[in-house]
Amino acid sequence: MLKLSRKTEYALMALRHLSGKSAGELTSSKEIAGTYRIPGELLAKTLQQLAREGIVETVQGPHGGYRLKANLNLINLSDFIELLEGPVALTDCSIDNNCSQIMTCTIRTPIHRINEKMKEIFSNTTLAEVMQ
């Protein structure tokens, strides 16, 4: 139904929170979850994923937490979404060819065209812009 997953939403909110902090400052996932009433465990896992991808940095142990690592001006929304929820594809066949309709489908090419335009919007939007 063309909706972003909550995971993506939470990730964006977390990044915005982090980008409001002074450089190097650490924030616990608990603080963020508490502020926005987000399920803590879920946010934690999401932040861990962002850490693996080099978007945030983590410090373990008491007083540990997360802080921004990547430059949000250099990450586009398309890559970010694909990171968290897989390929941006209106249909299965938009990316790979695992679509069950592939042999008989008559709308593949036009849908693909629209898909490209959609991806373009996301590609042309940086995470920094989403934080504004």
Partner DNA sequence: GTTTAATCCGACTAAAGAAGTCGTATTAAT
Partner DNA sequence: ATTAATACGACTTCTTTAGTCGGATTAAAC
Give the nearer residue to DNA in terms of CB position, either 73 or 79: 79
DSSP annotation string for 35-96 = HHT--HHHHHHHHHHHHHTTSEEEE-STT-EEEE-S-GGG-BHHHHHHHHH----SSGGGTS
107-132: burial string, b at 16+ Cβ within 10 Å, e else: ebeeeeeebeebbeeeeeebbeeebe
# chain residues binding a copy of itself, by CB under 8 A: 41
Shortest Cβ distance from residue 57 to DNA (Å)?
9
Q: Of these partners, a copy of itself, ligand FES, DNA, none, which one is at the site of residue 52 (CB under 5 to 8 Å by kind)?
A: DNA
Q: Which of 26, 70, 83, 130 binds a copy of itself (CB under 8 A)?
A: 130
Binding site for a copy of itself (CB under 8 A): 1-5, 9, 12-13, 16-17, 35-38, 77, 81, 85-86, 88-92, 100-101, 104-107, 110-111, 114, 117-118, 121-122, 125, 129-132
